[in-house]
Amino acid sequence: MIKTLIYTTTFFIGSSLFATDAQTLIKENGCFACHALASKKSAPAFKGVAMRNKRFNGSNAKASIMNSIKNGSEGKYRHFIGAKMPAFSNLTQADLTTLADYILSQGSKGGSCGHGGGMGMRRGGM
């Protein structure tokens, strides 16, 4: 019982720190200027990015998202053809991992992903 309580407490503390770190990175880098969690803005929602990368890139979804954040991306979503994501080459590998993990976690949350249930996605990444 005590072991379970310690594990559960550690899990929630770890999850909370993870979300805070990711949210700090998102805020510091202005990600919400273009992205939202579950609705589209001038760029796809994080939920849509997660679902799309899981669908098209499978086990490489995380690496694909990290690559798009680090090097920028363009033309991967039909409804966002004119949008270009800038490169965030200033981010560390740890920052990229934190952001990619956070974005992927949004794909398992309920609600609309803001891109027509999968429509408008092209193969390739963020």
Q: What is the pLDDT of residues 80-109, one digit of tens each?
A: 988 999 999 999 999 999 999 999 999 987
The predicted structure's pLDDT at residue 59 = 97
- In a domain, residue 125? The reply is no
- The residue range of the domain holding 94 is 2-106
23 inside domain? yes
- Distances in Å between the Cα of 63 and the Cα atoms of 11, 39, 66, 119 are 24, 23, 5, 23
Residue 40 located in a structural domain? yes
Q: What pLDDT score was predicted for residue 111?
A: 53
In a domain? residue 92: yes
Tell me which residues of the chain have a pLDDT lower than 50.
4-16, 112-124
**Rounded-to-integer distance, Cα 27 and Cα 62, Å:** 20
Residue 11 belongs to some domain of the structure: yes
pTM for this model (two decimals): 0.73
- Indicate the number of domains in the chain: 1
The CATH number of the domain holding residue 48 is: 1.10.760.10
pLDDT the model gives residue 109:
77
Which alpha helices (DSSP H) does the chain contain, by range?
2-28, 46-57, 61-71, 93-106
One-letter amino acid of 51: M
